Each structure stands twice: as structure tokens, then as C-alpha cells.
Chains A and B, each alone.
Chain A
């Protein structure tokens, strides 16, 4: 299913669903995450700088946990964009490497690419950066379980 290209109409529909999904997740809203761009299997999310998310009050640098949550959300959004139809997903595992600290006063951009979807599992990698993807502050690799349990018949995701 993953090697069939989505047509423009389907992609637009998934993009809209992705944006609705972002806004429907309370923790994404609590972090102020903004879904900025999506394409097939790809997502870009912005984490605005916020004093409430600082880990070290002396340096003003964002806490690693906020970067982790950004990565988790962005990887999940990329998986969502790779699916032919909306379904519940759940993170199986997520590895994050911190290459350097974020900069005080600066928001962070994350990009993720879901590069393989099988019947049950989606594989995704991501990067977080300030100015350029070539100068990352963190990289990640994750796997997501597809079609996980829901208590409702509408779409949902974790």
C-alpha cells in the first residue's frame, strides 16, 4: 500500500485531517505546537520558545523533554501523513539523540519522514533544528504501531 502515490485530493484531505488532529491533542496545544507543513509521509512542526518550557533557568534553554515531545508529535504526524486512511497509531519506540542544546529565546523546528509503512508498523525518522536541517540539535528514529485499539469508531491517534 505504501508504494501507491496519493493523489492531490487525498493529500489535501490528509493535510486537513492532520491539522485537525494536531489541534485535538491537548498536550500538543499545551506545548504550543504548530503544524507548518505536510506532504506525503512528511511533517514539519514548530515549537515556539516559551519560558514555561525552560529546563535551566540560568541559561534559558528549553528542556530536553519539550524537544522529545516535539519529536514524538512530529514523528506521529509524519506517520499520519503516510497512511492511506486515518487510523489510530501508537508509538512503539522512539530514540532521540541530543546533538547540542537549543538556543535561549529560539523556537525549534522538527521535520519527520515516515519512510516505510507495513501492514502493522510504520518506520519514521526525524530531525530538530533552529535554522538549518544541516545543523540539527536532535535526531530521532521511531516505530509506530498501526490500527491500535480505540474506544470509538472515529479516527484517533496517540
Chain B
């Protein structure tokens, strides 16, 4: 079952202390390989909001003819952003475990930076549901959306919930 991982606690604590969520993403090898990081929205109506960002790189291309981003890369950004957001904004002691996710691809991903933001739709004691959107230049035109559900347990609800 989910356990508390010291490296993760440490990464969250350091990122919070530095006010830089990117340090949390940097602690995850896969996120680094993909070019997935975290930033706080600088200004505008969403200032201070935690965003996932996937910096464009040739290694993310799934269709070299168009070219377009790989569906799997977008899926990874959506899932990672939701998990990072739960870790950053909630009092979780363990890594949320993905139970499942459904990704809808709305537009082809152009070879530029892609951003993502999740909105928890239900936060239960054991399961949290999150809707995540990914966009490029225009936040009102998402290129992919996901509904994901995660097994979580909060600091207030210790191990007795876990079988």
C-alpha cells in the first residue's frame, strides 16, 4: 500500500521552502526526462496558480509529418500535473497512486511548450477525482483533457484506511 517516501517529503519541503515547485518536479527522473516541470502562474487572473509545463523537445514528437506531440507525452503531462498538484496543494503524506485516467485528445499538440492545470472534482478520504486540462498558447482552447482518479490518504487519515 502507499507509504510515506522520505525523498518525496524532503523534495516537497525543499520546494515549499524555496517557493519553487519546479524543485519537486526535478526530484522525479521521468519528469526530468520528459521536460515536465512546475511553475507558479506569474500574473493575470490565475496568478500564483500551480501549473504543469512540458517544455517542447524533439523527443516528444509522435507524428513527425505534421509535426504533432505524442499522445502518450500529453497523457504523461496531464497525469503528472494532477499528481504534483495534489502533493503541492494538499496535505498528502504519500504519492497519490493513479487508479485510472481517461484522456480525450481535442486538438493536435503543436511543437511548442504545453501547460496543464488540474481541478479536483471530488476529494474523498481514499479517492480524489481530478479533471486536468492541457493547452498551448490559448488556455481557453485545450488540446487534451483528462479525468483521473487517484488513491490518496491524507495526514489526517492515517494507515487504518489502507488495506
Contact = CB atoms under 8 A, between A and B. Distances in A.
A148 B106 CA distance: 13
Interface string A96-117: 1110010000000000000000
B120 interface: no
Interface stretch (A10-18, A50-58, A126-134): A50-58
B70 interface: yes
A156 B64 contact: yes
A143 B62 CA distance: 17
A91 interface: yes
Given A58-B6, A91-B71, A151 B105 contact: no
Given A53-B33, A158-B68, A95 B108 contact: no
A88 B30 contact: no
B72 A72 contact: yes
B112 interface: no
Nearest to A76: B71
B163 to A, nearest CB: 14
B30 A53 contact: yes
A27 B59 contact: yes
Contact-residue bracket for chain B: 35 or more
Contact of B59 (A26, A58, A63, A68): A26
Interface in B47-98: 58-66, 68-73, 75-77, 79-80, 95, 97-98
A25 B63 contact: yes
A66 B30 contact: yes
B103 interface: yes
B29 A54 contact: yes
Interface of A: 24-31, 51-59, 62-66, 68-73, 76, 88, 90-98, 101, 148-152, 154, 156-158
